Amino acid sequence: MPELPEVETVRRGLLPAMEGKVIMRADINRPDLRWPLPSRMKERLEGARVRQLRRRSKYILADLDSGESLLVHLGMSGRMLVSGVAVGDFHLDHPAAQKHDHVVLHMEGGGRVTFNDARRFGAMDLVRTDREAAHWLLQGIGPEPFGNNFDEDYLVNAVKNRASPIKTVLLDQKVVAGLGNIYVSEVLFRAGIDPRRQAKRISAARLARLVPIVRDVLSEAISAGGSSLRDHRQADGELGYFQHVFRVYDRESTPCATCATPIKRIVQSGRSSFFCPTCQK
């Protein structure tokens, strides 16, 4: 599932086509994705201007001048593809319609935004902007990693009494928004922390050092366009490239770049964890 860097990369790619533009026409080609689409979605979108395009955790939010926000979750295979606009030195022509183009937004100025999702694990909803924090998908989500509320004191206090493994704690969206399996594995490697260690048995100083490391890893991944392991594409259809600099994730049995010890893979809470048993204690 796309994590924060992939979602942020898509959000940035959507900006030229969506932000400040009116949705001239909305083609809703099926009644549901992972869950039913909102009632009267077509009528509620058409004629609305996108005031701002934001990200909250792993969700994209398009704030409309109607007082509602279009909430988008990409799921496992969802893609939001832009066409009909200039991106850098290139003009992205409209592609032929595809089988899994479930929602197509025709934007003011000729741009088009297509939500394509072969497996339909993604989701879309419309929520009142001033009540979004109460939406069941957003309720209780923790602070953003780049926000002022995510600092050393916050993280230490949030996890210091947790008996769960630190990997599991950092994946908890109530602790910090947007982190997923890939980037937590990379963060813990850089911090030299074994993913199996109980959070409460890690010193406050080591926990505090996680904050800048989290930001560094996410920033580097965003700059690389995210990680393309299966279905992720940027809004212009390009791949992300951060997977080429993974230190541990998906590198089982390959030598650690620091000490040459083979990278180990274990399963925690049903998810693969990758780490160096020598470098991470």
Q: Which residues are catalytic?
A: 2-3, 58, 271
d(CA 180, CA 170): 8
d(CA 222, CA 227): 9
d(CA 142, CA 174): 4
Distances (CA, A) of 116 to 85, 130, 219, 256: 18, 28, 27, 37
Helices (H), 19-151: 41-45
In total, the chain counts a number of residues equal to 281
Q: Angle between the 204-223 and 4-18 helix axes, to the nearest 10 degrees?
A: 40
Distances (CA, A) of 277 to 188, 245, 256: 12, 19, 9
Contact (Cβ atoms closer than 8 angstroms) between residue 225 and residue 241: yes
d(CA 249, CA 234): 21
d(CA 134, CA 136): 6
